[in-house]
Amino acid sequence: MIMSSNSYRESLEKLRRKVYIQGAAVADPMAHPLVRPSTNAVAQTFALERQEQYKELIFARSHLSGRPINRFTHIHRSTEDLMNKVRLQRLLGQRTGTCFQRCVGLDALNALEITTFEMEQDLGIPYHHRFNKFLQQVQDENAVCGGAMTDPKGDRSKRPHEQADPDLYLRITGENSEGITVRGAKCHQTGALNSQYIIVMPTLAMREEDKDYAVSFAVQADAPGLLYILGRQPSDTRKQEIHRADIGNRDFGGQESLIIFDDLFVPWERVFICREHRYTGRLVERFAGYHRQSYGGCKAGVGDVLIGAAAALAELQGVDKAAHIRDKLVEMVHLNETLFCCGIACSARGRASSSGAYLIDLLLANVCKLNVTRFPYEIARLAEDIAGGLMATMPSLADLEHPQLGPLLRKYFQGIAGVESTCRLKMLRLVENLTLGPAAAAYLTESMHGAGSPQAQRVVIARQADLAHKKMLARRLAGLEGESS
């Protein structure tokens, strides 16, 4: 069943969830102004299905059923699939100018597909069989999955079992013939309120003494025992204002929530890791690798919007011919395309895993994400430079409609002659949205910490760097072969 944007929204409305926003229980979160723009962004992943020119990008063929499915539910079967994922993410970043949230679930599905295959091979427990049944359902329903990895972590110097409060990492609290119960929390969960299923994974490689924390499973988003608390974003209450132009991006936004698991019951058929701690490290590394690849697509797409806004402002303000402005725009494009190059490169160098699913090149995916922790900040800095200070000081666009103020604002904020000053002001609001407003959470802070903070990428890069090989190359050319060094 392929959903339309509307039936997707209706399916979310049917979920009976415990949701809190700004200190109040909200029965219908989908109607809330802080949530609606984020649902609109996810809905774009359905809207693309209706557009002929994007069919090749948005649809893939299921390896389970052979049927066409939305790529956000697909297990990658080739390097072409991996590259198409990044191209699709760039397209959606361009269309929404924010985080469209559906990639975390996709990355969780792919990481679990490979890991449960290995577990079933090694242990004889039908984890892969269970996972495939869940995957089939996700593909048939064209469901949106949230991927929940990050635990609160408490005292970072301590392992999960050493924490003063044992719930600071999500853990198994009980088990019977029907399933398991879990308790804990997952922080800053992208798109949680827009998801029909929540897929939980451990946050780090667990050891024997932490085996109660070695757990992975999927649940319906309205399973009893789940509690959602919406996270805030910079200037998010602008979304509640009547005059929507002041938001900067009228239609789309991102969303993160804290999810609390209060002795949630999970039936065995949805449990994918239960105390097998040896498999947690590879699951985490694969999920992180896929999501670090993802950023080479989505952040480049949002970067396209920001570069476009800066270029448009340069024109509207009459500085587009200035050499230093052109140079800054070229610099922004260079940085942005470097991110995309990394996303494509780690995909092009992907390989088939033992299950047949394609995995990205881990070293290049981590290089991709480490660049993402820096380049969007520099692109944003250059955009602010070109935009000028008015972006942060101009009056509300509501004032434009005031009978006395409107003409004054139009007169004094006029840029080049012949173009309504409103165009300039709206474009400034968009740059504000992307660099200081709600979308900065997605374009900047998420670039830093999403899919792991920079140090996590450095650890993988150090492990994958093969310095011994590089030293051998140097020794050979220096005529030191056979010498100890």
Catalytic annotation, residues: 99, 103, 190, 256, 291, 295, 298, 446
Report the distance separating Cα 237 and Cα 444, nearest Å. 19
Residue 131 touches which member of ligand SF4, Fe ion, none, C-beta under 5-8 Å by kind: none
Q: CB within 8 A of 214, min separation 6: which ones?
A: 202, 206, 273, 274, 275, 276, 277, 279, 280
Return the amino acid letter for 43: A
Q: Give the residue nearest to Fe ion (CB).
A: 450
- The number of residues that bind Fe ion (CB under 5 A) is 1
Which tokens in the block code for residue 113?
Answer: 């597909």
231 touching Fe ion, by CB under 5 A: no
Which tokens in the block code for residue 108?
Answer: 């969780």
Tell me how far, at minimum, the Cβ of 340 lies from ligand SF4, in Å: 13
Strands 24-25 and 18-21 turn out to be antiparallel
Residue 101 touches which member of Fe ion, ligand SF4, none, C-beta under 5-8 Å by kind: ligand SF4
Q: What distance lies between CA 455 and its chain's CA centroid?
A: 18
Tell me how far, at minimum, the Cβ of 318 lies from Fe ion, in Å: 38
Q: CB within 8 A of 478, min separation 6: which ones?
A: none
Tell me how far, at minimum, the Cβ of 296 lies from ligand SF4, in Å: 9
Report the distance separating Cα 312 and Cα 70, nearest Å. 34
CB 130, CB 271: distance < 8 Å? yes
Report the distance separating Cα 126 and Cα 130, nearest Å. 6
Residues forming beta bridges with residue 360, ordered by sequence position: none
The three-class DSSP label of residue 450 is: coil
Nearer to Fe ion, 231 or 450 (CB): 450
Report the distance separating Cα 260 and Cα 226, nearest Å. 6
Tell me how far, at minimum, the Cβ of 60 lies from ligand SF4, in Å: 17
Nearer to ligand SF4, 272 or 295 (CB): 295
CB 41, CB 102: distance < 8 Å? no
Nearer to ligand SF4, 255 or 355 (CB): 255
Nearer to Fe ion, 108 or 260 (CB): 108
Tell me how far, at minimum, the Cβ of 90 lies from ligand SF4, in Å: 10
343 touching Fe ion, by CB under 5 A: no
CB 112, CB 273: distance < 8 Å? no
Could you say which residues in the range 439-468 bind Fe ion, by CB under 5 A? 450
Nearer to ligand SF4, 100 or 217 (CB): 100
437 touching Fe ion, by CB under 5 A: no
Tell me how far, at minimum, the Cβ of 85 lies from ligand SF4, in Å: 10
Residue 294 touches which member of ligand SF4, Fe ion, none, C-beta under 5-8 Å by kind: ligand SF4
Tell me how far, at minimum, the Cβ of 191 lies from ligand SF4, in Å: 7
Nearer to Fe ion, 70 or 89 (CB): 89
Residue 342 touches which member of ligand SF4, Fe ion, none, C-beta under 5-8 Å by kind: none
Nearer to ligand SF4, 396 or 445 (CB): 445
Residue 386 touches which member of Fe ion, ligand SF4, none, C-beta under 5-8 Å by kind: none
Q: Which H helix or E strand runs over 456? A: helix 454-464
Q: Which residues bind ligand SF4 (CB under 6 A)?
A: 89, 99-101, 103-104, 190, 294-295, 298, 446, 450
List contacts with Fe ion (CB under 5 A).
450
